[in-house]
Structure 1
Amino acid sequence: MSTHTPPRFDPTRVPHLLGSFAPVTEEVDVADLEVTGEIPAALDGLYLRNGPNPRFTPIGSYLYPIDGDGMLHGVWLSEGRARYRNRFVRTPALEAEERAGRALWGGLASMITPDAEQVGPELAGTFRDLPDINVVRHGGRMLALAESACPFRIDANLATVGREDFGGALPAGITAHPKIDPVTGEMTVFCYGLEPPYLTWSVIARDGTVSRGPTPVDGVDAPMMIHDMALTDRYAVLVLAPAFFDLGAAMEGGSFLAWRPEHGTRVALIPRDGGTPRWAADEAFWLWHTVNAYDDGPGEDAPVVLDYVQWSRLTVGGAPEDSEHQVRSGLVRARIDPAAGSVARTLLDEARVEFPRVDDRRIGRRHRHAALATGTGREDLLTGEYDAIRWFDTETGTARVWPAGDLSVGEPVFAPEPGQDSEEHGYWLTYATDRTDGSSWFLVIPAEDPASGPVARARIPVRVPLGLHGCWLPTDGG
């Protein structure tokens, strides 16, 4: 479908294009950031974060967090000093729009695509690449990740190398939240599609070669959105909430995602050795992000423990129009019984939270601490905006909080102290933007006493829009 006349759409009325979310267009390099406090000398590496950042004013529609060009924001740390660089992920669509000087593709909800006269025959009628959600380093590649498509490879200076299909072994791509086993070095990925097979999983070995190609997950008979996954020693864990793609409705001006709670939520435990998936079922709930998972005992029938941020239903772009269904979130632990096919859920923390992270060295194993973005209760924050960081202790059931005041904070990422294996020895890193003046900061928070707040704040001389996911990439490759 293509058209030169987009439907009525006013981007100045879209909250996620304003304030702390407003996109930036300038790519900058700053050699030496001004630092308040002291950056630990042990931190040597790159903190890198991705996020949606439209290069041009959107047309047709804009849905946060799905739409938007990817922009990478990096802070390099060494010997207590910090430097900053940001770069767009340069997709073919972004380059075509730069030649035109305006947006040519609409948001996903509008179904606007350019014709051959505007962009040439190869791009005509196609949907734009959106590698704007996450970034990961594995097997010698640094990848900017999309929702369910081929990622884009990035070099050490954040320049875009090009679309990555892993030597043709994963032509449909992967989703934005692969999981890397810290013991084996394998990266397990999944991908969903609009046509059969609707869901596949794959494995990329430590050296970057695809050791298991796209493997269909039996028991999935309709296109569904699945944002994140978890990993245990035995299983890849996928939560299939009842969020179904409906292209027919989208073509007629309706929503391309339909929430159908009558179908309930199912959990697929996919044996990493290639065995038959085991299923469990429960009442409907939605999750954007998992915290972590692990096997609770030996044997194939041992329960799987999954911690995640639970939402009562799916929303995209803001609160649902149906005010009778208030959306609720919280930190939840699910105990999944593979033999009985059942799920027992326990609310661990009822605070409004999102963007959960653990020490990545604990992925697939028992963890003690989870860090999450949270709110202090103020009512002027938008969906996806948080003004505090919360650390939940799974052993004691208690939480510590650092209120950020006028700062809107992003996802916290753990940087271990070199030579230490403890979750308490390291630092939590994030970007934050001041809602009063638009200034942005890079924060370093000690894991030993996170509620005490940052030990260092590096001033970013340009605004860093609120974004999505990132990672800590130590110089030694660990």
Structure 2
Amino acid sequence: MTATAPHGAPPPVDAAHDPHLSGAFEPVIDEIDAGDLEVTGELPPEMDGMYLRNGPNPRFTPLGSYVYPLEGDGMVHGLRVSDGRAHYTNRFVRTPALDVEVAAGRALWGGLMTGYTPGEDEVGPTLAHTFKDMPDINVVRHGGRLLALGESATPFRLTPELATCGRETFDGTIPAGITAHPKVDPRTGEMAVFCYGLEPPYLTWSLLGPDGTTRRNPTAVPDVDEPVMVHDMALTERFLVLVLAPLYFDIAAAMRGGSMLAWRPDDGTRVALIPRDGGPVRWATSEAYWSWHNANAYETDDGRVVLDYVQWSRPGGMSPDTGPIVGGLARAEIDPVAGTMSRRFLVDPASMEFPRVDDRRLGRRHDVVALGTITGRQPLVPGDHDAVVWLDPETGRTVRWEAPEYAVGEPCFVPRPGDDDTAHGWWVTFALERTDRSSCFLVFSGADPGAGPVATVRIPVRVPLGLHGAWLPTQE
């Protein structure tokens, strides 16, 4: 990373004192391939595929500001597992802006909160005064496409070897892009996506068939009359579920040097139930809360929609409010006919994030939610966890694995081939040792994850904490 700024640009941030650019989050520069990795324990012989995880990894020191987790160059880390052996690969997502910065040897774009964009003399006419692409949040595979996803933007397509092919517009049908959390219906293979924007229509949704072709072109969500940030979605048999918390984009304030995002809790939080057949959208409203991530949603026999998600009292770092933020795994029950909803925490509020279920359960009842959480034994910044918890939302039974010596990433489920029982699969994640900052890949038994890893794969380079990932079976 460099501490040099282009002429007229904001100065570089102090990366050494930014908790999301140092320590467990410190970016890496080198792209490597490494095979025959050291394994402690035994990798399950049935495990055959690749775990991919994306995350913000600025190639050069950001200019002016840096907002985790919304900005940074994307880097995809992959661990291929087969026949009890493991191979590691990592690659930057090579966007046009990143290519120009690499050629210049320095950062050229300002952070999101600075409003600074480079001119034609620095980046050429095509990129001049544009926002930088940042496909750094998630990675998914659908319809033969492997996609690196950003925050409401055009995805970038990758090869199986993680080389960047370029922008993906789905044959021109979704030119504005999608957000980083599409959902795939495991029964139909259909992928639901949505996108928010700064200009009308402020919120749209689309459907893609299992072959990747667009079945429904971007369709405006009605009754959304200003730009609002929506990070995640959920899917049921009939509905797309979108949570519209009162976090709005305020371009006028940003132009005056203020915050680009405004938290207006008096507006409350609205939940949109969007029929997948294109029928009228149904709304429910509650007191204001913020949510980054959903675990899953499903419909009950009497037609209610149940949504499990991580609830926060407000968005940290994105509002002028001060004081503690209360959060934890929660459940909302929504009546689509009456337009009412009730909410309750499933466990005592605690710092936890990145909820995941067995993806084969998406849209139907699930019996376990896995999340990163904290032990409370040490101060940790958002996105850093030193424990994993598995929770049965029906019974409230929880299982914990605590490892204060590790910085632990998002858990992801790996099914046993041909076996529908979640208990017979495995949970995996990258982790980073806090003292020597060495990295590893952890594998937990689905039957007894609290017992600790059944296999630990040593990674020969540091893997910073990141965001979201996916398990890609070889046979698909």
TM norm structure 1: 0.97
The answer for the alignment partner of 2:249 in structure 1 is: 245
Name the count of aligned residue pairs: 470
1:321 Cα offset (Å) = 5.6
The answer for the alignment partner of 2:169 in structure 1 is: 165
**What code does the residue aligned with 1:86 have?**
N
Contact 1:3–1:115 (Cα < 8 Å) also in 2: no
* SS state at 1:17 partner: coil
The answer for the alignment partner of 1:422 in structure 2 is: 421
- In 1: Cα distance, 2:58 partner to 2:170 partner: 27
- In 2: Cα distance, 1:54 partner to 1:380 partner: 24
The answer for the alignment partner of 1:117 in structure 2 is: 121
The 3 A distance-change label for structure 1 pair 155 and 399 is: same
* SS state at 2:174 partner: coil
The answer for the alignment partner of 1:435 in structure 2 is: 434
The answer for the alignment partner of 1:25 in structure 2 is: 29
1:365 Cα offset (Å) = 0.3
2:50 paired with 1:46: yes
2:233 paired with 1:235: no
Residue by residue over 1:222-252, the C-alpha shift from the partner in whole angstroms, topping out at 9 and shown as x without a partner, is: 1000000000001000000000001111122
1:3 Cα offset (Å) = 7.0
Once the two structures are superposed, the pairs formed by residues 149-160 of structure 1 within 5 Å of their partners are: 149-160=153-164
2:409 paired with 1:399: no
Residue by residue over 1:283-313, the C-alpha shift from the partner in whole angstroms, topping out at 9 and shown as x without a partner, is: 0000000000001125xxx110000000000
Contact 1:65–1:316 (Cα < 8 Å) also in 2: no
1:395 Cα offset (Å) = 2.8
Q: Which residue of 65, 86, 102 corresponds with 2:69?
A: 65
Residue by residue over 1:387-411, the C-alpha shift from the partner in whole angstroms, topping out at 9 and shown as x without a partner, is: 0000001232110000023101000
Once the two structures are superposed, the pairs formed by residues 205-224 of structure 1 within 5 Å of their partners are: 205-224=209-228
Identity of aligned residues (%): 62
The answer for the alignment partner of 1:306 in structure 2 is: 307
- In 2: Cα distance, 1:364 partner to 1:82 partner: 32
- In 1: Cα distance, 2:216 partner to 2:383 partner: 35
- In 2: Cα distance, 1:22 partner to 1:53 partner: 8
1:10 Cα offset (Å) = 2.7
- In 2: Cα distance, 1:244 partner to 1:312 partner: 16
Once the two structures are superposed, the pairs formed by residues 318-337 of structure 1 within 5 Å of their partners are: 322-324=321-323, 326-337=324-335
* SS state at 2:441 partner: strand
The answer for the alignment partner of 2:462 in structure 1 is: 463
1:7 Cα offset (Å) = 5.3
* SS state at 1:395 partner: coil
1:14 Cα offset (Å) = 1.3
- In 2: Cα distance, 1:178 partner to 1:117 partner: 37
Residue by residue over 1:358-386, the C-alpha shift from the partner in whole angstroms, topping out at 9 and shown as x without a partner, is: 00000000000000001001232111110
- In 1: Cα distance, 2:15 partner to 2:130 partner: 23
- In 2: Cα distance, 1:3 partner to 1:150 partner: 29
**What code does the residue aligned with 2:87 have?**
R
- In 2: Cα distance, 1:15 partner to 1:407 partner: 16
5+ long unaligned stretches in structure 2 = 1-5
- In 1: Cα distance, 2:404 partner to 2:265 partner: 37
Contact 1:3–1:112 (Cα < 8 Å) also in 2: no
Contact 2:9–2:63 (Cα < 8 Å) also in 1: no
Contact 1:286–1:312 (Cα < 8 Å) also in 2: yes
The answer for the alignment partner of 1:254 in structure 2 is: 258
- In 2: Cα distance, 1:180 partner to 1:166 partner: 16
Once the two structures are superposed, the pairs formed by residues 4-15 of structure 1 within 5 Å of their partners are: 4-6=8-10, 9-15=13-19
5+ long unaligned stretches in structure 1 = none
- In 1: Cα distance, 2:257 partner to 2:55 partner: 27
The answer for the alignment partner of 2:290 in structure 1 is: 286
- In 1: Cα distance, 2:142 partner to 2:244 partner: 26
Contact 2:9–2:116 (Cα < 8 Å) also in 1: no
The answer for the alignment partner of 2:3 in structure 1 is: none
Residue by residue over 1:248-270, the C-alpha shift from the partner in whole angstroms, topping out at 9 and shown as x without a partner, is: 11122211111100100000000
Contact 1:287–1:310 (Cα < 8 Å) also in 2: yes
* SS state at 2:97 partner: helix
Contact 1:306–1:335 (Cα < 8 Å) also in 2: yes
Tell me which moved more, 464-473 or 110-119: 110-119
**What code does the residue aligned with 1:402 have?**
W
Residue by residue over 1:407-444, the C-alpha shift from the partner in whole angstroms, topping out at 9 and shown as x without a partner, is: 01000000001111011110001000011110000001
**What code does the residue aligned with 1:78 have?**
S
Residue by residue over 1:191-233, the C-alpha shift from the partner in whole angstroms, topping out at 9 and shown as x without a partner, is: 0000000000000100000000000000100100000000000
Contact 2:15–2:22 (Cα < 8 Å) also in 1: no
1:323 Cα offset (Å) = 2.8
- In 1: Cα distance, 2:421 partner to 2:449 partner: 15
